[in-house]
Amino acid sequence: MKRIKINRKKCIGCLTCVTACTVAHGSRDTRGRIVIDSEGKYAPIYCRHCTRPECVYACPTGAMRRDDESGYVIYDKSRCASCFMCIMACPYGVLKMDYQTNREVMKCDMCLSTESEYPQCVAKCPMGALTLEEVYK
């Protein structure tokens, strides 16, 4: 399974990754996509696509599911009841409410809906701080 890795030494906090994600998903809301790290720099946050995803276990409607083939945790907004149990269950705090709709969850989908080989944040990072790497469990 591939995951997005951040090299904090290369990251300059420019937020190009956040902009690329926002544009790729046709959103205007960036509030759930960044945090301020321990050094006071802005940094992107990503779903870790957990092997045992608490968000999936907490979701009463099946809107959150783990794809066995890719290993990614997928969000189906058409099945979402807007209860936000997934947000409360995520131990990493990476799931956020989409303040643009107040009904949906913002979650990294690895840009599976785009025709790009890489997630847009990785493809557009000017410093090469974001990479897509194979992880083995």
Give tens-digit pLDDT for 9-41. Answer: 898 888 899 889 888 887 766 555 677 777 777
Backbone phi, psi, residue 89, to 5° = -85, -25
CA angle 75, 77, 78 (to 5 degrees): 130
Task: For residue range 35-66, list pLDDT tens digits in order.
Answer: 777 777 777 778 889 999 999 999 999 999 99
Domain span at residue 53 reads: 2-128
Indicate which CATH number applies to the domain containing 30.
3.30.70.20
- Give CA 73 to chain center in angstroms: 10
Q: Once rounded to an integer, what is the mean pLDDT over residues 117-134?
A: 93
**Position 3, amino acid:** R
Q: 75 in a domain, yes or no?
A: yes
Q: 48 in a domain, yes or no?
A: yes
Q: Rounded to whole angstroms, how far apart are CA atoms 65 and 58?
A: 10
**Position 32, amino acid:** G
Q: Note whether 95 and 71 are within 8 A (CB).
A: no
